[in-house]
Amino acid sequence: MRTLLFILPAVMLAQAPSGKEAAMVSAVDAEAPAAVTFLERIVNMNSGTFNPAGVQAVADVLEAQFRSLGFSTRQLSGAATKRGPHLIAELKGSPNRKRVLLIGHMDTVFELSSPFQKFDRKSDEHTDGPGTSDMKGGLVVMLSALKAMKAAGALDGANITVFITGDEEAAGDPLAVSRAALIAAGKASDYALCFEGGASRDGKDYGTIARRGSASWRLTVHAKTGHSSQIFSDSMGDGAAFEVARIVNAFREQLREPNMTFSVGMILSGNNIQLEPGGHASVSGKSNIVPGEALAIGDVRALTRDQVARVKDKMQSILAKNLKGTRAELQFEDRYPPMSPTAGNQALLDKLNGVNATLGQPVMEALDPMLRGAGDISFIAPYVDSITGMGAYGGGGHAPGEWINLTRQPLQAKRAALLIYRLTR
């Protein structure tokens, strides 16, 4: 007799849900209406990054939720960096269990001055509101998953730390202070799950195991100033405007490479340049005066630390070829490190796909890192296997009209509950 071998789809090879997992799935569905009510409550609480009192109010509401689940909690003041607090919740279980870190943020880009302030339910599939998908919806997914685990007795013995920042949208300076505790939590964990928005394209869900970091740069040019009739002469030189133009055009022509982008956000040239931290600037000049100053600011986004270093070196080499009578200086500020793709991150996505198989969902491929910007997960990714995109599905982030698809919240909560349970076992 011949033996026939069949390759079965991943869904058919799924690990059947355990009794506790089946109970978690049912608990998510039972709690779904209350989850929407809670989401509306916190969306209607303004927590713009520069509204520390609003961030504090949201932290207090969330803290009560975690305490009700048996977590010990504490808040870290953000006063030293002029931001709202971070919220930390911990569940300490068996010492031989793996340690799972869940992260998110409670601040939004919508300050008190924004006209976009309220949860507005257009339909189940399209509900507007500030921070709905970025990322208060993700915080509700996290809570729904933990509540389902609690109901099924699946939190018993688990080691889980929750770290919710109050300043993700504009991290407080210095970063060494505002991100120190988050990095320490990452170093103390075996896995990290971030509940920022889920990634879906053309009806297919993706997992995010890599995202680019960001660094800002500031280019300052100094030159001789005087009557425009003397420009290009040996005594006057080429002026600051032509030098800054040369440099940024050389950036455009010489820096491009895969998985990296760079941009110029502002260019000024003239005299008496003033640039305020919020982005407002002033400059003086006339058509018949050679400009003595120029300023350009922008950013670089790259996938690995080596790539960031290589691009910085290229930029500095371009600067060195100054036009006559000019000198230029380039300063960098690293903001978010890259979340580089690693075998550990891919293995974590494989575990999530095991959950997808159990839930009868298709396999999630890794998202192209060019399609996602920087985030808090990047600060801890160098130290712990990580995945992001565990939160809400929606769109329009960082602009009035931001929205969430409420019908997809239960699936995300089920994915999270089963994955956390399996990782902590």
Q: What is the pLDDT of residues 232-272, one digit of tens each?
A: 999 999 999 999 999 999 999 999 999 999 999 999 999 99
Residue 28 has a pLDDT of: 98
How many C-beta atoms lie closer than 10 Å to residue 40's C-beta?
18
Residue 279 has a pLDDT of: 80
The string of pLDDT tens digits covering residues 171-214 is: 999 999 999 999 999 999 999 999 999 999 999 999 999 999 88
Q: How far apart are the first and last CA of the chain?
A: 42
Q: Where are the alpha helices (DSSP H) in 152-236?
A: 175-178, 180-187
Please name the amino acid found at residue 348: L
- Distance from chain centroid for Cα 415: 20
Report d(CA 290, CA 292) in Å as an integer: 6
Asked if 11 and 362 count as a contact pair (C-beta separation under 8 A), the reply is: yes
Residue 12 has a pLDDT of: 41
Residue 4 has a pLDDT of: 40
Q: What tokens were used for 16?
A: 């059947």
**Dihedral sign of CA atoms 118, 79, 392, 114 in order:** positive
Residue 10 has a pLDDT of: 44
Per-residue DSSP letters for 52-72? HHHHHHHHHHHHHHHHHTT-E
Strands (E), 5-123: 72-76, 86-91, 99-105, 120-123
Residue 373 has a pLDDT of: 76
- Distance from chain centroid for Cα 304: 16
Which pTM does this prediction carry?
A: 0.86
Residue 13 has a pLDDT of: 55
Please state at what angle helix 305-319 crosses helix 240-254, rounded to 10 degrees.
140
Residue 17 has a pLDDT of: 84
| E strand or H helix at 84 | none
Residue 14 has a pLDDT of: 67
Residue 16 has a pLDDT of: 82
Strand partners, 72: 90
The string of pLDDT tens digits covering residues 162-175 is: 999 999 999 999 99
Low-confidence ranges of the chain (pLDDT < 50): 1-12
Cα dihedral angle (226, 232, 235, 239), rounded to 10 degrees?
50
